[in-house]
Amino acid sequence: MSNMQFSRGFNPFVLLFCLAVVVPTISADVAILRTDYYQKTCPDFNKIVREAVTTKQVQQPTTAAGTLRLFFHDCFLEGCDASVLIATNSFNKAERDDDLNDSLPGDAFDIVTRIKTALELSCPGVVSCADILAQATRDLVTMVGGPYFDVKLGRKDGFESKAHKVRGNVPMANQTVPDIHGIFKKNGFSLREMVALSGAHTIGFSHCKEFSDRLYGSKADKEINPRFAAALKDLCKNHTVDDTIAAFNDVMTPGKFDNMYFKNLKRGLGLLASDHILIKDNSTKPFVDLYATNETAFFEDFARAMEKLGTVGVKGDKEGEVRRRCDHFNNLNV
């Protein structure tokens, strides 16, 4: 395994289902969402998004995984309202600057900015940043081999982004299945849907600090594949002085969205403790077994779960706005 290091400008994501929770229910405004929302007001929306993500993914192959993680974080904290995109200012420390969000990847923020800039030239003041993130995520997932799923549009951008709401609402790599599922359940997801969404770890990276406790010392995990563990130990030997060192979540096909993540779990090749526990826990093991042997079942379940994720906590006209810039509220004093 190569020693992969990344600058802070595009740190790879750490834990795709490390998700924050505030909004436990789906807004009544979900009824306004529809796939053709911009057909008349911004007819080039689909084309502009597709062209931007294609260019960006070719330039930086970590973009797909990073954007997928960013979308999860957005939807599970305050709902799918682009609150995670807000930058900190003198009045407010925003979600993205909480310590637990340090590794949210710069490339994911960048692709949203690129798309927003292009859309403001084509149809100014029409398309929300929340819709841009949702659409870009779907297009990027399909670009790297994942399933197509419908993205219903019409979300508005939220008015709040608070760093203090992140802490305590993000499941960590050493949590149990019941603890992790508790967070998903609050947002309406079943255990099967949780496992399907965990399959997003078929792409992307994790930093050594997220799994180093499985490698060293008396508490080292003896269930990791020995050759895999040896390679990770060598990779991460300097992680305490260089926190950008990262490893593939899926060591076999890291750039392809497939069911290899689940096959890896059965071989002792799960990177994070929260990955490995899915094959150990009796409640989740049947789903891991299913997805490892049936990629179609995984793709179908993942697609349905992603469509559902995109409706969590969406904001309507009275609860949100269309931001002029995705990293600032229109009222800068908010």
Residue positions annotated with a catalytic role? 73
Helices and strands in the chain, H and E counts: 11, 3
- Pair 161, 94: CB distance under 8 Å: yes
Tokens 């400008």 identify what position?
A: 9
Integer Cα distance of 315 and 159 in angstroms: 10
Q: Three-class SS of residue 294?
A: coil
User: What crossing angle do the helices spanning 45-59 and 129-143 adopt, rounded to 10°?
Assistant: 60
Strands (E), 66-194: none
Q: Of 57, 54, 16, which is closest to residue 202 (Cα–Cα)? A: 16
Burial class (CB in 10 A: 0-12, 13-18, 19+), 217: exposed
Name the CA dihedral angle for 229, 231, 234, 237, rounded to a multiple of 10 degrees: -50
Integer Cα distance of 201 and 257 in angstroms: 9
Q: Of 246, 245, 274, which is closest to residue 261 (Cα–Cα)? A: 274
- Tell me, what DSSP letter sits at residue 267? T
- Pair 18, 198: CB distance under 8 Å: no
